[in-house]
Structure 1
Amino acid sequence: MSIKRFMARAGIVAIAAGVATMFSGGLASAHVTAKVLGEAAAKGGYTKITFRVPNEEENAGTIKLEVKFPADSPVSGARTKPMPGWTAQINKVTLDKPVKVHNAEVKEAVGSVVWTASGTRIAPGEFQEFELSVGPLPDNTDQLMMPAIQTYDDGTVVAWDQPTKEGEEEPEHPAPVIALAAEGGDDHHGDDAPAADPENAAMASDTNEAQAASTSDTTARWLGGAGLVVGALGAGFGIGATLRARKATAARGDQS
């Protein structure tokens, strides 16, 4: 194989690698995830959790999402954000043993939250985000794992309930999880905020800040991917320029 042909192929491979890297992040994250946008979620505090639900089926649509909450690290209150075409239901459970959360005794906690399509499904190739305001958060754990069950209109049911262990490869169906920061860092409600009654709890959520954080994250990812592609293209052009320079030098040598 000539040097010219080898270098040309190398340039094509570099460009292809840059494009693949730019889009690989989207493919790897095609599962139900939970995110806290803006300020970190703090133990004993309040936060807004965004569940991102992509549709992974080619010939079916998502019509139901159920998110379960742990009884050993209970969340006493939750509120759902209205979504056109979807209904939401918060299911409460009575704890076998009351626990202390945010200086209050919690006897009843959120068992699960269920969103059901009432006219709008998540179609193939689409995703939807479900927002939930919760609190007080548990103070006996560093993370809150919330297994999710995704139901499609063809009867397919996918359980996202596998724990992700540090240092190990991500499981096929990881459960949504959020990290909990040290207590008191981001809680703006004070010790007098009612804990057990979610109807009276002032669950603050800065929507503008969350949207700005989401937009910034998306923009950064695309710019990073675009930078890889531009770099790969630059490498290809550089290879071409080197080949042309060598050819010109060879031609001058032949003429002399």
Structure 2
Amino acid sequence: MGPLVFRQMLRERRRGMLWWSLAVAALTLITGASYPAVRDAGEGLDQFMESMPEGVLEMMGATDGITSPAGYLNSQFHSNIFPIVLLIFGISVAAWAVAGSEREGTLESLLANPVHRWRVGVERFAGAAVLLAGLALIATALLVAFRSPFELDELGVGEMIAAGVGALLLALLFTAITYASGAATGSKGWAIAAGAGLATATYVVYGLSSFVDLLDSVRWISPWYWFLSPSPLREGWTFEAIGVPLLVTIPVVIIGTVVFTRRDLT
């Protein structure tokens, strides 16, 4: 029969995806085009940033300053606004995938067809992942395509792609947590709370770890730490930013799907 649930989900989301794509494209172009002005501000901005506490700089992704291409994109895009946009989109779609659809009453009609529950769960999560990857691809492709006009030539294409993939996998991990929570509980509220709550909590752990000794000893559990220390814009394809999120995401999706197939929906 093919991935009918997957294709249906993509069709239902195509209009919303169009608007999200335009927003991400505009955000990426505005951010990239602003770099020459920031660079021309020169040493003054970097000196100001150096006067700030190290923990603040880490949270901002500005440990390398903000006038270098890597420092600018890290501090203004990849360490904050870009993954946050992906998180908002991924969590909203994943919360609907099972729990939201169940709340609307459309899940039961879908399951009345000759389709296994696990296929519904897996294909809808796959749909969320593909949509999320589409947004990450748009942003990354625009930065690579306009690398010279934006005067970001110092950055290698491989590093820029690695940063885009890293941000995607960071968002995908919390998308998976949202999906699994919704699939296991049937509650859209619990699903959003799990995904958004853990994303926020782990970001706080990462950001405050430079100030609090207790948090510094556990910062390794934060997916933000995997992604930002070190940044793929500097180090390229690191296992921490690429491999570890995948190793966590896969079992989360499996567990959520298994619980969903055994849960009583009546």
TM-score by length of 2: 0.27
Give the structure with the higher percent helix. Answer: 2
Quick one: higher RCO (CA 8 Å, sep 6+), 1 or 2?
1
